[in-house]
């Protein structure tokens, strides 16, 4: 079992809730329901198509919550750089880039001191057949490792990676990279959905993930706050086990 790569991360911030809701009003109400259980929130494409999203970012930052802006920037490097520079002014903690070396370098150069840039390796909704459709001849492990190495060379702060690849990533890529793992499904919540490469919270953290992103298992729970509390307890247990020499 790998040691904790970034022990300075507060335990309560290792759980990132994916706020995949249709409106800012619904998002704000749900965030309020999780008060005391979640301090880190991921805002993605759906919310950014609604009005008031930047007001929500600002509000969360004022409340001393952390914000992960998951827009997977992919554009001309100069445009990516300018967009990241504007986002850095808002106080967000993480943003994602899903492009080539030039895009990653531009994002890293523009991020400032507070914003961390995460390179997406391979979406957890993709499997081998999907890579074939996209024209990638390499296997998933090779793609993830290649993307992670290039992200480190480009100056990114970390990567987004499935828990299935985290162990090799930790072994073969610089340990300073932060690893954020989506596709998390607790053992009692392994329903079929569009996530194909999933792991439990404990599995992800035991393999070396720093943060886990959880959406539906909390959002769709009968008691979302209780579901988040249970995952937080699992995180504490998994991190404690990793810390034992």
72: phi then psi, degrees, rounded to nearest 5: 50, 60
Q: Across the chain, how many H-helices and E-strands are there?
A: 11, 8
Question: What's the residue count for the chain?
Answer: 245
Cα separation of 118 and 148, whole Å?
10
What angle, 0 to 180 degrees and rounded to 10, lies between the N-to-C axes of helices 101-110 and 77-88?
30
Strands 15-18 and 40-43: parallel
Place of tokens 């150069």: 109
Kindly list the catalytic residues.
72
């Amino acid at each position: 079992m790998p040691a904790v790569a970034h022990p300075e991360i507060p335990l309560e911030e290792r759980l990132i809730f994916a706020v995949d809701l249709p409106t800012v009003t619904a998002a704000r109400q749900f965030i309020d329901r999780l008060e005391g259980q979640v301090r880190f929130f991921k805002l993605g494409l759906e919310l950014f198509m609604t009005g008031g999203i930047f007001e929500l970012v600002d509000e969360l930052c004022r409340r001393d919550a952390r914000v992960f802006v998951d827009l997977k920037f992919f554009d001309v490097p100069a445009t990516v750089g300018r967009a990241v520079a504007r986002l850095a002014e808002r106080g967000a903690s993480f943003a994602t880039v899903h492009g080539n070396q030039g895009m990653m370098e531009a994002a890293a150069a523009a991020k400032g001191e507070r914003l961390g840039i995460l390179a997406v390796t391979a979406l957890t909704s993709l499997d081998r057949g999907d890579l074939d459709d996209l024209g990638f001849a390499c296997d998933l492990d090779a793609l993830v490792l290649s993307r992670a190495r290039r992200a480190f060379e480009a100056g990114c702060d970390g990567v987004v990676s499935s828990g299935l690849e985290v162990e090799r990533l930790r072994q073969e890529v610089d340990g300073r990279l932060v690893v954020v793992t989506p596709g998390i499904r607790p053992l009692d919540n392994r329903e079929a959905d569009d996530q194909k490469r999933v792991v439990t919270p404990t599995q992800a953290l035991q393999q070396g993930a720093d943060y886990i992103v959880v959406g539906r298992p909390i959002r769709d729970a009968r008691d979302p706050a209780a579901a988040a509390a249970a995952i937080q307890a699992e995180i504490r247990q998994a991190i404690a086990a990793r810390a034992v020499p």
